[in-house]
Amino acid sequence: MNDFIVVYSTELMRRIKSRPFQIGLLIGIVSIALFTKLPDLLRNAGSHQTNVVLAAPAAVLDRAKALLANDYAIVATTADATTPNAASLKSHDASAWIAITDAKGLKVVVYAKDPSKNWSTVGRRLAPLNVALATDVSQARLATLMSVPVDVQALDAHFSSAAQADAAEGIAFTLLIFLYMLILINSQLVMSSVAEEKTSRIAELLVASISPVPLLYGKIAVATTLALLQLFIWVTVGLLLGANGMHTGRSIDPGAILAGGVTATEIVSFLILFLLGFGQLSMLMAGLGSLVNRTEDLGSVSIPVVMPVVFAFILAIVAIQVPDLPWIVGVSFVPLVSPFVMFARIAVTDVPIWQIALCVAINLVALWAIAIAAGKLYRVGMLLYGRAPNFKQVWQVIRS
């Protein structure tokens, strides 16, 4: 136990001071800030109003102006029906000239610098005025009649409303990205740390002092601690900035998340599945990292382990949309994949408790098996220099 504590405390300080950790943390914070704020910024950038000049008969000018004011910045109005030219637009610093005439119904001609813009919006906005002129029904009455309220009642007990279901999908997606980033980044840091010790040749001095087992598990424990620290910082930043459900484009109120948008089941399952997934992947990474002789080889060695995680992330996105598809349910029990897919299912639907228990049990067994295999690989790999072992030799070590 003392060996584990010594390795844990030293490795923790070493990793916190290391540049890769600090840069990773910073990149995470910047990414979250971008993810949360970018949609709003883009929306605001996209909603920049076009300056227009509105030309219409005096009888309809004010009412037309009121209907178009939300979509366009009307810089000037006129009753003049003459055809404008480029100089007319320039003199008003406008991009378009909207000319309305009323002869047995409204008719609109738009003289625009950029005709490709969606000018049909002008017609839709003026429709109530057109109907009002034709029927003598008031514009306010028409506005009411043209909007039919729809009340959506959720039958699935998991969510009480459609808005909550949308919010849950957004939260699930956000947490899934956290899960993906934490597991992938930190397990690769474990791998780099192992390879660094081997390539710097300090490994032999270490394993001569203590057993490789506390050395390996100390590293994993440090990586887990740092990942949870990152999670705490990232989530706090996310909540402070106001998380967004990126795929829905809807804003999620941080207060609402804390008040009940994220359920206790989601938080607990997130942490358990994170620990299981991270444990499995980082053990595999550590075992494989001990086999390389040059840090440049880490990329190629990690591919067979990283690919299933990328695949699992894609499956989890599908699971958010269709959580009850039989094959999605099936893969939610497969180790390495299930931490992502099962979490996605838990976040958006009611997963029977026996399925969650079975998933955790399968992953615990997988974690145990991977820990034994990785320990054997690590014990042998750390002292193995020269030509890298082939798959057959690696398999022999695991079976030994």
The residue ranges that bind another protein (CB under 8 A) are 2-3, 6-7, 10, 14, 17-18, 197, 200-211, 383, 385, 393, 396
Give the residue with the Cβ less far from another protein, 169 or 197. 197
Q: How many CA atoms lie within 13 A of 136 on its CB side?
A: 0
Question: What is the pairing mode between strands 250-251 and 244-245?
Answer: antiparallel
Minimum Å gap between C-beta 2 and another protein is 7
Nearer to another protein (CB atom), residue 21 or residue 340: 21
Q: Pick between residue 17 and residue 104 the one whose CB is nearest to another protein.
A: 17
Task: Write down the least CB distance from residue 6 to another protein, Å.
Answer: 4
Q: Which is nearer to another protein, 128 or 214 (CB)?
A: 214
Nearest approach, Cβ of 24 to another protein (angstroms)? 16
Encode the chain in three state secondary structure: CHHHHHHHHHHHHHHHHCHHHHHHHHHHHHHHHHHHHHHHHHHHHHCCCEEEEEECCHHHHHHHHHHHCCCEEEEEEECCCCCCCHHHHHHCCCCEEEEEEECCCEEEEEEECCCCCCCHHHHHHHHHHHHHHHHCCCHHHHHHHCCCCCCCCCCCCCCCCHHHHHHHHHHHHHHHHHHHHHHHHHHHHHHHHHHHHHHCCCHHHHHHHCCHHHHHHHHHHHHHHHHHHHHHHHHHHHHHHCCEECCCCEECCHHHHHHHHCCHHHHHHHHHHHHHHHHHHHHHHHHHHCCCCCHHHHHHHHHHHHHHHHHHHHHHHHHHHCCCCHHHHHHCCCCCCHHHHHHHHHHHCCCCHHHHHHHHHHHHHHHHHHHHHHHHHHHHHCCCCCCCCCHHHHHHHHHC
Residue 104 or 201: the one with the smaller Cβ distance to another protein is 201
Residue with smaller CB distance to another protein, 108 or 384 = 384
Smallest distance from the beta carbon of 71 to another protein, in angstroms?
A: 59
Q: Minimum Å distance from CB 360 to another protein? A: 33
- Residues forming a β-bridge with 111: 97
Q: Closest CB to another protein among 368 and 385?
A: 385
Least distance (Å) between residue 163 CB and another protein: 51
Between residues 212 and 245, which has the closer beta carbon with respect to another protein?
A: 212
Rg of the chain over CA atoms, in angstroms? 30
Contact criterion met (CB below 8 Å) for 216 and 207 = no
Q: Which is nearer to another protein, 62 or 204 (CB)?
A: 204
Minimum Å distance from CB 207 to another protein? Answer: 5
- At closest approach, how far in Å is the CB of 15 from another protein? 11
Q: How near is the Cβ of 337 to another protein at its closest, in Å?
A: 34
